[in-house]
A and B are shown apart, each in its own frame.
Chain A
Amino acid sequence: MAPPKVQIIQPPMDLRKRAVNFKTGFGVILTPAEASQLEAVVEKSSDNFAKQIAAKLKTLRAALAGLADGGAPHMALIERVAADALEIKGLGGTFKFPLLTQIAKSLHDYAAPIKEPNVWHGVIFAHHVDALYVVLAQRITGLGGKVESELLKALREASNKFK
């Protein structure tokens, strides 16, 4: 039997021909000045980011606080927690909040696999949301210090313990 046919196709060069030149635009390799120009775009969106994430966390906090006494979160809420956590994970570091990204990752890793909700899930969610809120409110950019590192470790340990 003949071996399956594999073809190598030369890359299309029409986009390169159209866009690459020696006069106009940004360097194929960014200069420091060009990189700063682009960083400024992110800086500009930073306030908007903080406002939007704060609003999300506020809504989550209210939903978690509204759980019936000792009740487990319903699946719709769990899915929303996982989706919001993934979003915050993806944005935090870009806006110089890598700690936000790490806490959100811990929350997403905890929430996403849940199939059968229990009371502890709501408790662990609430601790994560509170931690995210503090990082944002205190504007803790970077990875923080020893306290923040201990907090993250504690959240991960609690997540592992109360699956």
Chain B
Amino acid sequence: MPEKIDFSKVRFLICDPNALSLTMLNDILSMLGATYIRKVNDFEKAMNVLKEGNIDIVITEHDLPAEGGIALVDYIRNDPSSRNRLLPVILLTARSEEQYVVEARDHGVNEFVAKPYTVDSLYKRLSMVIAYPRPFVSAPGYFGPDRRRKQMPFNGNERRGVDPNARPS
């Protein structure tokens, strides 16, 4: 029997300065069955919602007044006051050029969806962060999802300390 995702159990924060984008995303999530969707159009409001701590997934635009979506990711991943450093973040943005993809990846974004998007592409990313979450990496200068997507054979010495029970400090 195939697995299903009950979106009524998932609490969303969606951040986009564009009202139409925000409404459409809200409508898509509602159609999926989500009932807890917090909508904000700027960085400050997003921060306020995050500080309350009742969020499972963040979907944000890159261009978020006033600090930007990447600053929001930095807060979630690295700020001592962050309520959940492992919170899944999907960047859903019209900034689709390679430099933005690399920037997002290096700041700890889980998934990147370029606008204009299809509902199928968005759903695949949602499904990934819920059903198949990636391990996190804590390293000097980086805290976020493992950036290695491919499992490559490696014959050298294993120099990374792997502790399955390690939690972020």
Are both chains from one complex? yes
Whether A19 contacts B27 by the Cβ 8 Å rule is no
Chain A residues 42-96 with CB under 8 Å of chain B are: 42, 44-45, 48-49, 52, 83, 86-87, 89-95
Q: Which 4 A-B pairs have the closest CB atoms?
A: A93-B116, A90-B94, A90-B115, A11-B133
Report the Cα distance A94→B120, complex, angstroms.
Answer: 11
**Size category of the binding interface on chain A:** 35 or more
Contact with B along A30-44 (1 / 0, CB 8 A): 100001011111101
- Say yes or no for A1: interface residue by CB 8 A criterion: no
8 Å CB contact of A45 from B27, B131, B133, B136: B27
CB-based contact B7/A19 at 8 Å: yes
Could you tell me which B residues sit within 8 Å of A by CB distance?
Answer: 1-10, 18-21, 23-24, 27-28, 31-33, 56-57, 63, 86, 88, 93-95, 115-120, 123, 127, 130-131, 133-140, 146, 159-168
Kindly list chain B residues whose C-beta atoms are within 8 Å of the C-beta of A35. Answer: 119-120, 123
- Decide yes or no: A94 and B134 within 8 Å by CB, A15-B10, A41-B31 being known contacts: no
Contact B33 A8 (CB under 8 A): no
B93 to chain A, nearest CB (A): 7
Q: Are A90 and B93 in contact (CB under 8 A)?
A: yes
Q: Which of these, B6, B120, B134, contacts A19 with CB under 8 Å?
A: B6
Cα distance A4–B127 when bound, in Å? 34
Asked whether A21 and B6 contact (CB < 8 A) given A9-B138, A45-B24, the answer is yes
Q: How many angstroms between the C-alpha atoms of A20 and B165 in the bound complex?
A: 23
For A15, the chain B residues whose CB sits under 8 A away are: 10, 56-57, 88, 130, 133
Please state if A7 and B31 are interface contacts (CB–CB under 8 Å): no
Q: How many Å lie between the Cα of A10 and that of B127 in the bound state?
A: 18
**A146 within 8 A of partner (CB):** no
A-B pairs with CB below 8 Å: how many? 173
A21-B133 in contact (CB<8A): no
In the complex, chain A residues whose CB is within 8 Å of the CB of B27: 41, 44-45
- A124 nearest CB across to chain B (Å): 20
- Please tell me if the beta carbons of A89 and B32 are within 8 angstroms of each other in the complex: no
Assess whether A89 is in contact with B139, with CB atoms less than 8 Å apart. no
A23 within 8 Å of B (CB atoms): yes
B115, B127, B168 interface centre (most CB from chain A within 10 Å): B115
Contact across chains for B2 and A29 when beta carbons are under 8 A apart: yes
Known: A28-B5, A91-B21, A93-B117. 7 other contacts (CB 8 A): A6-B138, A8-B164, A22-B3, A23-B4, A25-B8, A26-B123, A44-B27
| Interchain CB contact under 8 A, A9 and B1 | no
